[in-house]
């Protein structure tokens, strides 16, 4: 099932059933945070919030991204991963967009100089104006955490520190 979307065909993916409640027995605070009650076929049913955003097409639910990479800017819900994808679709090796002080900042990875005017023009064809980054910055490599995922917090600090 999907909840909290602008339409019934998008939203956070939720799961129901006894198997999803493991680890929440006698933990009311965790339970209240992780579960929500929805109506399923006329019956109020507790469901587990996965933290994943999905869409429904042709009767199938598809994972789109993590909810925690979703922001609201100028009244619009924006998935930062979609901005990253639009940047990569211009031929960039890797990109990560962060949201700091009500502005989008896109970091890209690459050894060769990037023509950001061209990147911006291509991205403008793929993204609505409110989803366009206000700044771009190139790094030889994007910072990684211990799990080899891009360390978004390091990028946020770079923006805050003006570096």
pLDDT, one tens digit for every residue, the chain (163 residues): 888 887 888 888 999 887 776 666 667 777 777 788 889 899 998 888 888 888 899 999 988 777 777 888 988 889 898 999 999 999 998 999 999 999 999 999 988 999 999 999 999 999 999 999 999 999 999 999 887 888 999 999 999 998 7
Task: Outline which parts of the chain fall under CATH 2.30.38.10.
Answer: 2-66
Among residues 125, 145, 133, 64, the alpha carbon closest in space to that of 95 is found at 133
Token pair of 117 as six digits: 């005017």
CATH code at 2-66: 2.30.38.10
Among residues 92, 91, 107, 103, the alpha carbon closest in space to that of 143 is found at 107
Beta strands in 16-89 (DSSP E): 35-40, 43-57, 60-66, 70-73, 76-79
* Fold exhibited by the domain 74-161: GMP Synthetase; Chain A, domain 3 (3.30.300)
Consecutive H or E run containing 157:
helix 152-161
The CA distance from 78 to 134, in Å, is 14
Q: Which residue has the tokens 């900042």?
A: 105
**What's the predicted TM-score (pTM) here?**
0.63
Say what the pLDDT of residue 25 is.
67
Say what the pLDDT of residue 22 is.
62
Task: Outline which parts of the chain fall under CATH 3.30.300.30.
Answer: 74-161
Say what the pLDDT of residue 149 is.
82
């Amino acid at each position: 099932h999907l909840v909290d979307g602008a339409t019934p065909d998008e939203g956070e993916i939720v799961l129901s059933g006894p198997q999803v409640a493991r680890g929440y027995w006698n933990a009311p605070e965790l339970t209240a945070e992780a579960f929500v009650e929805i109506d399923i076929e006329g019956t109020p049913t507790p469901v587990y919030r996965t933290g994943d955003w999905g869409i429904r097409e042709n009767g199938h639910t598809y994972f789109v991204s993590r909810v925690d990479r979703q922001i609201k800017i100028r009244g619009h819900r924006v998935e930062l991963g979609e901005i990253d994808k639009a940047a990569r679709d211009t031929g960039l090796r890797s990109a990560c967009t962060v949201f700091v002080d009500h502005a989008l900042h896109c970091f890209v990875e690459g050894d060769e100089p990037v023509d950001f005017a061209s990147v911006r023009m291509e991205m403008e064809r793929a993204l609505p104006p409110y989803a366009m980054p206000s700044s771009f910055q190139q790094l030889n490599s994007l910072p990684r955490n211990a799990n080899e995922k891009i360390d978004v917090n390091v990028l946020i600090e770079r923006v805050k520190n003006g570096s």
